[in-house]
Structure 1
Amino acid sequence: MLREMSIRDFAIIQEVHLTFDRGFHVLTGETGAGKSILFDALSLVVGGRGSQDFVRHGAKKAEVEALFDISDQPGIQAILDELGLSTAGEEHLLIRRDIAQNGKSTCRLNGQIITLTMLKQVGEHLLDIHGQHEHQSLLQVEAHLNWLDAFGGVDLIQQRERYQKIFAQHREMRQELDQITADEKKIAQRIDLLSFQKEEIAAARLTAGEDAELAQEHSRLAHAEQIVQHASQAYEAMYGDQRGAEMLNQAVRDLEEITRLDESLQPLLEMVQSAYYQVEEAARQVGRYRDDVEFDPARLAQVEERIHVLDQLKRKYGETIEEILRHGEEAEQELEQLLNRDERKQELEQRLTELEAKLAAEGETLTQMRKQAAERLNQRVEAELADLNMKGTRFQAAFSNDDEPTYTPTGQDRVEFLIAPNQGEPLRPLVKIASGGELSRIMLALQTIFSDLDGVPTLIFDEVDTGVSGRAAQAIAEKIAHLAQERQILCVTHLPQVACMADVHFHIFKESNEEQTRTRVKLLTMEGRTMELARMLGGVEVTDTTKTHALEMLQLAERTKTAIQAH
């Protein structure tokens, strides 16, 4: 639920801070005062598209913050965890969106920078915004099937999941069969290629780590002369004419003489003795190493040829010997499948026949469950529309199936919502309804039905009552008041019938001077509400009559809301 919202330097808003509660909130004001701008700002904090036009003239950036209470939304924590957004069990989410002068935006959730995609995924569970020209998924034909399935309940959803599991298996096997039955020429070419690759890799008789060993041997063979020279010099330094070991031995003898006179030098003697033994052993090993080094041009040529072979294979099949060997194994496996494709083809065809029978059965069951749900939905929508002064309107969740079933990931059905607002008219697609007033009431009826399905705690209606008046306006007001018993509602309206039913009333107005124009928001008291309703009833001129009428409307609204709460 939305608790607070702060807006700075957004469009013509310099700074606004609003506090919200449960129930029905209404925002009223003159045309152009900035009512819908507030909802534009809210759209931003749940992932709406940003624009440099949102930044107030002369400001460096626009800032929008919204605080949401999620204590009664346990499901949203799973979404946050899935996105890696740790909130440590907090009961509030603080979302902030900054829009720079160049149109680039920054999103933060509880101080943590997040992507716009992540914000959208979280935001769709916090707010649902409905406007005269943007009714979200209810006006997207491709979403009508999902709405029907959601209305159908748990059993229908489970049946859809059973169907989808079989569909996934069928699609996977169909793809494999298509690959097996592809053009024979291409398959023959593939067999030749795989056979060559398998044989080439096998003929190389590769050994893991061989390339590193060859590189070391090549370096030793290619630099044998330098190696012998340096090894000889090292040997001479330790054991030859330079008498390195002999000098250490003389030092040992001298220290032994001293130790007989001064035992405190014993540790130093042992140290030099150890150095002598180590130098003597090192000299012997260097000598053996020097003697073992060979000038072998033939072996060098063999090593270089082997390295060349490995380099050729690496360019074709992988950067390491392990990758080359793995490629050979994969080629062998695929080759075996292709050579035995007739057997596998028969196996797949038999399995596909079995799956198609199951798919048809599960798809038909799904269709029948959907049609039963559609009948219930049709009745519910028509009943809601009757409450909204559209008695006699016909609604239908219409199915369009081909003569030959076409199976898709969602089943064999295509569903579109159709409506006939006036008696004697044919049913027409909901998305093509022309009357704004009719569309407003149809959308409100659908939202009333589906509000319990999506679990979004806050519903926003931006002038969804456009084009209605009189009894229809009163019906809309009462319907929104009913919704507000279970959901937090924010509504921009020009209708006094709707405004008087609100639990919280904000007045939006503009202040201007020679330098700037800015939007202001005021929370109205009972007296303020009376004056605002009188303005809405009478226009510019507020008279005693319109004020009396406004007060009567507020009093009647309170009685109506009490009756709604009693139900």
Structure 2
Amino acid sequence: MLQELSIRHFAIIDALELSFEKGLTVLTGETGAGKSIIIDALQLLTGGRGSGEFVRHGEKKAEIEGMFTLHDHHPCFDVCREFGIEAEEGAVILRREISAAGKSVCRVNGKMVTLAILREIGARLLDIHGQHEHQELMNAGSHLRLLDDFGGLPIKQAKEQYKEIYNRYDQLHTEIRRLSENEQNLAHRLDLIQFQFNEIEKAELKRGEEEKLESERQQLANFEKLFAALSEAYSTLSGEGKALDWLGLSVNGLEAAAGINKEFKPLHDAAANSFYVLEDTVRDLSSALDTLEFNPARLNEIESRLNEINQLKRKYGATIDDILQYEEKIAQEMDQLTHRETHISRLQKELAEVEAALTLEGKKLSKLRRASAKQLEEAIHRELKELYMEKTVFHVHFHSESGQFKKEGMDQVEFYMTTNPGEPLKPLVKIASGGEMSRVMLAMKTIFSKHQGVTSIIFDEVDTGVSGRVAQAIGEKIYKIAVHSQVLCISHLPQVAAMADTHLYIQKSHDSKRTNTIVTPLNDEEKAAEIGRMISGVEMTDLTKKHAKELLALSAKIKHSAV
């Protein structure tokens, strides 16, 4: 859920800190008080388009920040991990800054991100539904996914099985298409990789060779320093009156002491061990000095070989291992191109087998979808009936073509509807707008909000154009959605406001010739007064107060029965 929202220097808002609760939060107030400005801020926070016009006059930038608390397996965390964003303790914090010049800075959990990434994460946190903004429900491209979400685990499992086979099907198609390209292009490709293969093969590269050559070059290039250092070490340790000689005298003295008192034997043993180790070291140093020689010709050979390796690295890979892997890859490709017809025949045979398996899985998936579509149609009709649209017909239309395999299956799905008896079904995106559209959208949201996993749903005056019993039905429907998702709703209808778990009143204030927006949480008495104002307008009568309290009491009963 959206838990905290901070807005600074945004439009007529100077500074606003809001805390939100679970369930249904209704925002009311006079027209122009700033209700929709808060929604605008949330749209920008989740990746909406911004401009310098949003920055409060006289300020350098607008700042919007929101904290969302999520359950451990929320899909938003997968997106965060995909983009390397740390997300711990079940919370995600979004931040958006817009300068007066129109420049935008986006952050998720403190990490700077692009607007596209912010938008992708925001889409899993907020679903803003306005009077003219129906988002994915009005996007035919998302209807198949919504149907699959509604279908639940059986469709999910069938899709996974289908996709596993589809991935192999796609690979085979790509291979056959590549091997069936223009013969002249393939001949050019074969000539190129043959040349590359010969060049790599001629070099006779060995794994680990470069590291050994670098070490040897380092030694030869610093021969004088190395020889001087080893000579100094040897002369310091070996010879009369040097370290090894003095250590031998110490061992002899400790041996005599241990003969007198056994307590000194550990000291003698330690010194003797050190003497033998140092003696071995002197012997090794002597051997190293004897074998050490400066060979300018060898240094030139090494330089030439390393240069050859670097030339190959520039062409074929960052390391010798990469180059050898590339050699293996083009060797396989050479074999495929040389014996192209044989490979195409083998791949086509496998493709036919995969197509048969994919058709079976595709039909299985399609059957599950069609069964789920019937259930969805029935559920939508029930919801529409409760919204006094019992004559509306909703239909899940399938565009299926045999043998047309796509990543999501063999089906294309679009929601169709007619709101008037006798009229033909039309795509959902083409049906009437206004109060009728608001009810259709609410019916669908009631169904899909249980399956979409969106943290918060925002309704921005979706109840425009309705009244009376329809308004009451819309209020109940919005509350029903709030049982499964946090809902924020801007409304002018008292029937909707009466259903609120939290009621926020928005008003303008004027201070030092500046206008500002203030948000006030209402207690029970204040809530009744505000609903009364919504019923009667400016003048508040005893009868209006009575009607407001009756409406609140009725709403309390409805809410209690809905739990």
Query: What band does the TM-score fall into relative to the shorter chain?
Result: 0.7 to 0.9
Shift of residue 424 of structure 1? 1.8
Shift of residue 284 of structure 1? 12
> Where does residue 483 of structure 1 map in the other structure?
481
Matched, 1:397 2:399: no
> Where does residue 533 of structure 2 map in the other structure?
535
Deviation track 1:337-393 (CA, whole Å, cap 9, x = no partner) reads: 333333332221111111111111111122222111111111211221111121201
> Where does residue 191 of structure 2 map in the other structure?
192
Paired with 1:318 and 1:88, the residues of 2 have a C-alpha distance of 38
SS of residue matched to 2:141: helix
> Where does residue 272 of structure 1 map in the other structure?
none
CA RMSD, Structure 1 to Structure 2 (Å): 4.4
CA contact (8 A) 1:500 1:554 kept: no
Code of the residue aligned with 1:421 in structure 2: it is T
CA contact (8 A) 2:97 2:106 kept: yes
C-alpha change, 1:495 and 1:191, in structure 2 (3 Å) is same
Paired with 1:560 and 1:302, the residues of 2 have a C-alpha distance of 91
Paired with 1:509 and 1:426, the residues of 2 have a C-alpha distance of 46
User: Which sits farther off after the overlay, 303-312 or 442-451?
Assistant: 303-312
> Where does residue 7 of structure 2 map in the other structure?
7
Shift of residue 560 of structure 1? 3.8
Paired with 1:317 and 1:563, the residues of 2 have a C-alpha distance of 71
CA contact (8 A) 2:46 2:119 kept: yes
Paired with 2:23 and 2:11, the residues of 1 have a C-alpha distance of 28
Deviation track 1:482-520 (CA, whole Å, cap 9, x = no partner) reads: 333343322101122222332332221212356211112
Paired with 1:405 and 1:135, the residues of 2 have a C-alpha distance of 33
Code of the residue aligned with 1:34 in structure 2: it is G
Code of the residue aligned with 2:344 in structure 1: it is K
Instruction: State which of 488, 495, 498 in structure 2 corresponds to 1:500.
Output: 498
Code of the residue aligned with 1:113 in structure 2: it is K
Code of the residue aligned with 2:553 in structure 1: it is E
CA contact (8 A) 1:433 1:439 kept: yes
CA contact (8 A) 2:498 2:555 kept: no
Code of the residue aligned with 2:129 in structure 1: it is H
Paired with 1:517 and 1:12, the residues of 2 have a C-alpha distance of 6
Deviation track 1:412-465 (CA, whole Å, cap 9, x = no partner) reads: 211111111111221111112232111111110000001111233432111011
Deviation track 1:77-132 (CA, whole Å, cap 9, x = no partner) reads: 98177355556546x555544433333224253xx335255554554444332111
SS of residue matched to 2:400: coil
C-alpha change, 1:336 and 1:384, in structure 2 (3 Å) is same
CA contact (8 A) 1:52 1:100 kept: yes
> Where does residue 151 of structure 1 map in the other structure?
150
SS of residue matched to 1:75: coil
In structure 2, runs of 5+ residues without a counterpart are 254-280
C-alpha change, 1:217 and 1:156, in structure 2 (3 Å) is closer
Give 1:71-86 correspondences, 5 Å limit. Answer: 73-76=71-74, 79=77, 82=81, 85-86=85-86
C-alpha change, 1:553 and 1:509, in structure 2 (3 Å) is same
> Where does residue 275 of structure 2 map in the other structure?
none
Give 1:131-530 correspondences, 5 Å limit. Answer: 131-206=130-205, 316-317=315-316, 324-402=323-401, 404-512=402-510, 515-530=513-528
Paired with 1:504 and 1:487, the residues of 2 have a C-alpha distance of 14
Deviation track 1:466-488 (CA, whole Å, cap 9, x = no partner) reads: 12222221211121233333433
C-alpha change, 1:561 and 1:97, in structure 2 (3 Å) is same
CA contact (8 A) 2:528 2:552 kept: no
Paired with 2:124 and 2:197, the residues of 1 have a C-alpha distance of 54
Matched, 1:565 2:560: yes
Shift of residue 335 of structure 1? 1.7
Deviation track 1:394-419 (CA, whole Å, cap 9, x = no partner) reads: 111111224x4311101121111111
Shift of residue 143 of structure 1? 0.1
CA contact (8 A) 1:501 1:554 kept: no
Given the two structures, how large is their TM-score scaled by the length of structure 2? 0.79
CA contact (8 A) 1:95 1:107 kept: yes
Code of the residue aligned with 2:331 in structure 1: it is E
SS of residue matched to 1:521: strand
Paired with 2:501 and 2:214, the residues of 1 have a C-alpha distance of 83
Give identity over the alignment, percent: 41
Paired residues in the alignment total 530
Paired with 2:463 and 2:219, the residues of 1 have a C-alpha distance of 89
C-alpha change, 1:19 and 1:364, in structure 2 (3 Å) is same
User: Which sits farther off after the overlay, 496-505 or 313-322?
Assistant: 313-322
Shift of residue 319 of structure 1? 6.4
CA contact (8 A) 1:28 1:494 kept: yes
> Where does residue 128 of structure 2 map in the other structure?
129
Paired with 1:531 and 1:302, the residues of 2 have a C-alpha distance of 95
CA contact (8 A) 1:530 1:551 kept: no
Deviation track 1:4-38 (CA, whole Å, cap 9, x = no partner) reads: 43322221012233333333221112221110111
CA contact (8 A) 1:3 1:69 kept: yes
Paired with 2:504 and 2:20, the residues of 1 have a C-alpha distance of 10
C-alpha change, 1:205 and 1:439, in structure 2 (3 Å) is same
Paired with 2:352 and 2:394, the residues of 1 have a C-alpha distance of 39
> Where does residue 275 of structure 1 map in the other structure?
none
SS of residue matched to 1:425: coil
